[in-house]
Structure 1
């Protein structure tokens, strides 16, 4: 681990009257991949795209009559750096595990249920394909903010590939049963 790695620290305050404002800021920061150190204090790796996105969040905080402080942390001690890296890896690993769970508990079961119902229609395959695309977009977002190679990525990639295989098999069965009939 290198001590010359820089971090972006954001400390913010939004009006307490509306939870909507707090949730909106929290959601934006989580979407960026922020690691919360405590309430309204988060850290991100110092990278140009992250800085630009963080500036947009700060502008939104200001629009809400909130305030924010922004710091660049250099020379972070090794044990503190390890704590931060472990936090980022844990967040990404959790998201990969959620993707695996989504595949196993929803996607796989949906195809199994449609087979049980004998609902072999092109409309159903289209709905399931949309679910697969949602999973792929989710995976892409997680990978984009997995800056420190969290465990679980390979498992999530394999589960999404299994989803694709199951859908292709289901589509082949639909075509075999329905073919070109309207």
Structure 2
């Protein structure tokens, strides 16, 4: 997640002052924790500083209301300078705070790097998922700190790059493991797009992520004049040559081993680019409940698609709305 970087050249700091009754003691702790969570720096006593932004100003306004409810009081002012501190000295205070928080993660990242190296040396099957789960947890912790790294501290940049390196290592290990021959493996036959034009694509009613994403893939990359038809899960499969079944048991395109239908169609039609690769991992994570491969976007996408599924008037409406979400998500990944 990107940090909310403050524009160093723009004037503005927020000084926050507050007082709260000594009892109950929990009230003071509650306010302190909220200030700490948003990245405020304590100057002295009950005086805190934040880079000026509309968001920070709004947060402090709500905090003053909360203080009033607790029997306390608070106020804040916007200022261009805080004597005798220079701009650089104030910025360094924020960077020092972030560096201290980042340092608490370094041992965890080092331990994960050692485990990844041991896995590469010993080749223990199945451990790559455990490594990915650990990385995802650390990435969430890192993302929380990055929200208050207003000036993109050097240590934060280094740790972010280190995270990418570990992630690439684990993804390579996962890919290598998946490419190993399996006794129950089923070969995915290569297909030609010209053989699948102006078809009716048949799938189950009440579509969710895999059917929505697969329909988007079909319309975007395979058959731009595709029509979609919905049948009950137990309905006999159509035998019409102009109809193609997908994401349905014994269909033309469906799950293979641990691959969802979207991934199977990608392979079958040789559809590959960086944006599709990222989208594929999100679809896989949601459809197969595979936490080890989750991206930060997955939870939000899943929530939106569940809302569509619940509110759409019929399967056709749900599919169209879901495809729009997938299309917007794909567009956001294109650089």
Tell whether the structures are fold-level matches, with TM greater than 0.5: yes
- The residue number in structure 1 matching 2:145 is 142
1:164 CA displacement: 0.8
Query: Are positions 1:151 and 2:154 aligned together?
Result: yes
| CA deviations over 1:135-173 (Å, ceiling 9, x no partner) | 223333333322223221231012211321342244346
- The residue number in structure 2 matching 1:32 is 38
- 2:17 is paired with a residue whose SS is strand
TM-score, normalization: structure 1? 0.74
- Native 8 Å contact 1:7 1:74 kept in 2: yes
1:36 CA displacement: 0.8
TM-score, normalization: structure 2? 0.44
Which structure's CA Rg is the greater one? Answer: 2
- 1:15 is paired with a residue whose SS is coil
Structure 2 Cα separation of the partners of residues 38 and 147 of structure 1? 21
Structure 2 Cα separation of the partners of residues 15 and 153 of structure 1? 37
1:28 CA displacement: 1.4
| Higher fraction of helix | 1
Structure 1 Cα separation of the partners of residues 159 and 183 of structure 2? 35
| CA deviations over 1:106-143 (Å, ceiling 9, x no partner) | x235556778998643xx65454333223223333333
Cα distance change of structure 1 residues 22 and 134 upon mapping to structure 2, 3 Å threshold: farther
Range moving further from structure 2, 86-95 or 96-105: 96-105
- The residue number in structure 1 matching 2:113 is 108
| CA deviations over 1:63-100 (Å, ceiling 9, x no partner) | 32222122222344474434322201211222333333
- The residue number in structure 2 matching 1:41 is 47
Structure 1 Cα separation of the partners of residues 83 and 105 of structure 2? 33
Cα distance change of structure 1 residues 82 and 119 upon mapping to structure 2, 3 Å threshold: same
